[in-house]
């Protein structure tokens, strides 16, 4: 058995079905020999984004794997690893490394050293005998605690070296842990004593599959729920206690209820301060339940911290709350307030969402998209900038893991790979990415990957021929040098790659075009719909 064969046998035992890759890395060929499908991308970052979606939509039960060559391949992959680290997504990254006698010589790129700051763990394989030990540690890290990329670098001179014939490897079991019961009891008392508690749910609810418990706690307390972008769809947004999601752009309900709350209960979240998120009120007491103790009192001061898995935490907290309140509270006053504020907010945005203007309003495009697709069978994600801010406040996610939200580092082009990975995870669902003409410039060539690898996604492009979000801060450079201008016929690009491409300019063609695009995906063809939109810069920053 060669070292690379032992590695692939571990991947097989761990249930890996796809590896995302760019050659040369011998794992690609040997994985294919044992029935693991390689997906070859046009650039490394996209492969990492696809692996990212596999891990997210599997709630950590399966893990995306990305492999690449040493040197330039590892260097190009850095941004994708950093994005997954910022979003706490558990993926296995296996770069080929320089031969062991060159691995530490300047200027060779050593992945273990260079990516240590953006990985949960980073370890080189130093001998064939260590395959089982190194990968056992890697998968234990992936399966336990807060998520993040785990890196194992395999030197090129070790790949084809002989390994022991017998591979001693048993997949490690996930380690789950819950909070101290005295803290749970204290949290329950604080929640029950609060007159206006608010629940803030993060993506830890997704990874622990704590969706029913979150709903149960909300209804028990008659407490409204908002989510982080990563936690969006953890709570059904058609529920009368839903406020919608946080982010840079938010519904009116989120702002008003954050201001009015006398206690905020954060579950499965980090409360990380970011320019692309919603700040918590400074004076409101916070109970913070999270998996990573390093996140408690990191960015916001908390009155009480609970350390543990979101599902285990809620399983112990709900009975304590139930005992104290002796029955479900009346939701009526809270529900009425939410409905009233929601109607007021939507009325303010109705002119843009119902607009018949040409060029198209992006809000009209996204409204028509939401009313046309079957949301119970759809997974959607946004890109950075305007697409994220235009869709996240308004799109009402009703099913868990139906919306891949993100936004701490906001690298452009992230959404395409996420949609492709989502389609591989859920081949029977409609998987959509919404991006702008700036984002497509970063990763648009990988639409060809969707065609070549037979991954029929629906790509919604909002094209205003401009970096519109920068217009207010780049006025002189735009006037003198056209610095914010962008051009391209991206529907034609999609057709040139062998996919379906259509440019839409009229309001009455939005819905028919969406239906045609969906029909193409059902036939197995990736579709790109290019909507020519206004240079809209208004977002719901309340």
- Are 88 and 200 part of one and the same domain? no
Checking if the pLDDT of 346 tops 90, the result is yes
Cβ neighbour number for residue 306 with a 10 Å cutoff: 26
Residue 410: what pLDDT?
A: 87
- Are 328 and 358 part of one and the same domain? no
Checking if the pLDDT of 40 tops 90, the result is yes
Is there a cis peptide before residue 24, judged by omega within 30 degrees of 0? yes
What does the pLDDT average to over 118-144? Answer: 98
- Are 392 and 490 part of one and the same domain? yes
- Are 403 and 526 part of one and the same domain? yes
- Rounded to whole angstroms, the Cα distance separating 207 from 195 reads 30
Backbone conformation region of residue 109, classed left if phi is above 0, alpha if psi is from -120 to 50, else beta: beta
Asked, for residue 176, whether it belongs to a domain, the answer is no
Give tens-digit pLDDT for 64-102: 999 999 999 999 999 999 999 999 999 999 999 999 999
What does the pLDDT average to over 319-331? Answer: 92
* Domain final position from 314, 338, 362: 338
Asked, for residue 163, whether it belongs to a domain, the answer is no
Residue 285: what pLDDT?
A: 98
Decide: 440 and 529 in contact? Cβ < 8 Å: no
- Are 207 and 301 part of one and the same domain? yes
Residue 328: what pLDDT?
A: 82
Instruction: Give me the DSSP letters along 348-413.
Output: HHHHHHT---SSBPHHHHHHHHHHHS-GGGEEEEE-TTHHHHHHTTT----STTSEE---SS--TT
- Are 393 and 513 part of one and the same domain? yes
Domain count, the chain: 3
Asked, for residue 486, whether it belongs to a domain, the answer is yes
- Are 305 and 415 part of one and the same domain? no
- Are 320 and 467 part of one and the same domain? no
Q: Which of 245, 247, 162, 164 lies closest to 199 in space, CA to CA?
A: 245
- Are 112 and 233 part of one and the same domain? no
pLDDT band at 469 (very low <50, low <70, confident <90, very high): confident
Instruction: Give me the DSSP letters along 152-181.
Output: EEEETTTTTSB--SS----PPPP------H
DSSP summary character for residue 68: E
Which domain does 141 fall in, by range?
3-155
- List Cβ neighbours of 107 (8 Å cut-off, separation of 6 or more): none
Give tens-digit pLDDT for 250-298: 999 999 999 999 999 999 999 999 988 999 999 999 999 999 999 999 9
- Rounded to whole angstroms, the Cα distance separating 302 from 290 reads 12
- Rounded to whole angstroms, the Cα distance separating 542 from 538 reads 11
Pairing of strands 458-463, 150-155: unpaired
- Are 255 and 332 part of one and the same domain? yes
Give tens-digit pLDDT for 196-230: 999 999 999 999 999 999 999 999 999 999 999 99
Asked, for residue 172, whether it belongs to a domain, the answer is no
The 3-state DSSP composition of the chain as helix, strand, coil percent (nearest 5) reads: 45, 15, 40
Asked, for residue 175, whether it belongs to a domain, the answer is no
Share of the chain above pLDDT 70, in %: 100
- List Cβ neighbours of 364 (8 Å cut-off, separation of 6 or more): 352, 353, 354, 355, 356, 507, 510
Residue 421: what pLDDT?
A: 98
Residue 414 sits in a domain whose CATH number is: 3.40.50.970
Residue 370: what pLDDT?
A: 98
DSSP summary character for residue 279: P
Residue 81: what pLDDT?
A: 98
Residue 225 sits in a domain whose CATH number is: 3.40.50.1220
Residue 60: what pLDDT?
A: 84
Q: Which of 188, 218, 180 lies closest to 201 in space, CA to CA?
A: 218
- Are 186 and 147 part of one and the same domain? no
Residue 239: what pLDDT?
A: 98
Checking if the pLDDT of 471 tops 90, the result is no
Mean residue pLDDT of the chain comes to 97
Residue 202: what pLDDT?
A: 98
pLDDT band at 542 (very low <50, low <70, confident <90, very high): confident
Checking if the pLDDT of 139 tops 90, the result is yes
Residue 502: what pLDDT?
A: 98
Asked, for residue 168, whether it belongs to a domain, the answer is no
- Rounded to whole angstroms, the Cα distance separating 142 from 172 reads 10
Asked, for residue 542, whether it belongs to a domain, the answer is no
Residue 209: what pLDDT?
A: 98
Residue 251: what pLDDT?
A: 98
- Are 8 and 103 part of one and the same domain? yes
- Rounded to whole angstroms, the Cα distance separating 302 from 277 reads 18
Residue 76: what pLDDT?
A: 97
Give tens-digit pLDDT for 180-191: 999 999 999 999
Checking if the pLDDT of 156 tops 90, the result is yes
Asked, for residue 454, whether it belongs to a domain, the answer is yes
């Amino acid at each position: 058995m060669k070292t690379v064969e032992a590695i692939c046998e571990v991947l097989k035992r761990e249930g890996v079905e796809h590896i995302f890759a760019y050659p040369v890395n011998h794992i690609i060929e040997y994985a294919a020999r044992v029935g693991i499908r390689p997906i070859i991308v046009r650039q490394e970052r996209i492969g990492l984004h696809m692996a990212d979606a596999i891990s997210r939509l599997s709630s950590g039960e399966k893990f995306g794997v990305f492999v690449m060559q040493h040197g330039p391949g590892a260097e190009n992959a850095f941004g994708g690893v950093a994005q997954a680290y910022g979003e706490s997504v558990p993926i296995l990254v296996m770069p080929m490394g320089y031969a062991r006698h060159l691995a530490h010589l300047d200027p060779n790129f050593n992945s273990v050293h260079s990516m240590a700051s953006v990985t949960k763990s980073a370890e080189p394989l130093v001998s064939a005998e260590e395959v089982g030990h190194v990968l056992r540690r890697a998968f234990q890290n992936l399966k336990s605690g807060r998520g993040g990329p785990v890196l194992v670098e395999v030197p090129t001179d070790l790949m084809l070296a002989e390994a022991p014939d017998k591979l001693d490897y048993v997949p490690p079991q996930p380690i789950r842990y819950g909070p101290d019961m005295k803290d749970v009891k204290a949290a329950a008392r604080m929640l029950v004593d609060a007159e206006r508690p608010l629940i803030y749910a993060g993506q830890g609810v997704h990874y622990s599959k704590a969706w029913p418990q979150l709903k149960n706690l909300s209804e028990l307390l008659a407490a409204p729920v908002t989510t982080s972008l990563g936690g969006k769809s953890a709570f059904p947004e058609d529920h009368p206690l839903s406020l919608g999601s946080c982010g840079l752009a938010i519904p009116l309900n989120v702002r008003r209820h954050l201001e009015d709350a006398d206690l905020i209960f954060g579950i499965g979240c980090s409360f990380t301060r970011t320019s692309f998120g919603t700040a918590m009120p400074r004076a409101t007491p916070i109970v913070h339940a999270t998996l990573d103790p390093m996140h408690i009192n990191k960015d916001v001061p908390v009155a009480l911290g609970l350390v543990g898995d979101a599902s285990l935490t809620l399983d112990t907290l709900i009975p304590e709350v139930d005992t104290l309140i002796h029955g479900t509270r009346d939701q009526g006053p809270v529900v009425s307030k939410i409905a009233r504020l929601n109607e007021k907010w939507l009325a303010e945005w109705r002119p843009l969402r119902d607009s018949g203007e040409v060029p198209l309003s992006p809000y009209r495009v996204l409204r028509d998209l939401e009313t046309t697709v079957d949301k119970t069978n759809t997974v959607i994600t946004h890109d950075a900038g305007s697409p994220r801010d235009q869709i996240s406040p308004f799109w009402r996610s009703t099913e868990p893991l139906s919306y891949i939200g993100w936004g701490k580092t906001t690298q452009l082009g992230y959404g395409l790979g996420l949609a492709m990975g989502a389609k591989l995870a859920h081949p029977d669902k409609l998987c959509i990415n919404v991006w702008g003409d700036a984002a497509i410039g970063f990763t648009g060539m990988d639409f060809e990957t969707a065609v070549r690898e037979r991954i029929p996604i629906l790509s919604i492009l909002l094209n205003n021929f401009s970096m519109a979000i920068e217009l207010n801060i780049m006025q002189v450079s735009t006037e003198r040098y056209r610095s914010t201008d962008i051009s391209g016929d991206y529907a034609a690009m999609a057709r040139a790659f062998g996919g379906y491409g259509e440019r839409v300019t009229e309001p009455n063609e939005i819905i028919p075009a969406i239906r045609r695009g969906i029909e193409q995906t059902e036939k197995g063809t990736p579709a790109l719909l290019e909507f020519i939109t206004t240079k809209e810069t208004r977002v719901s920053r309340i």
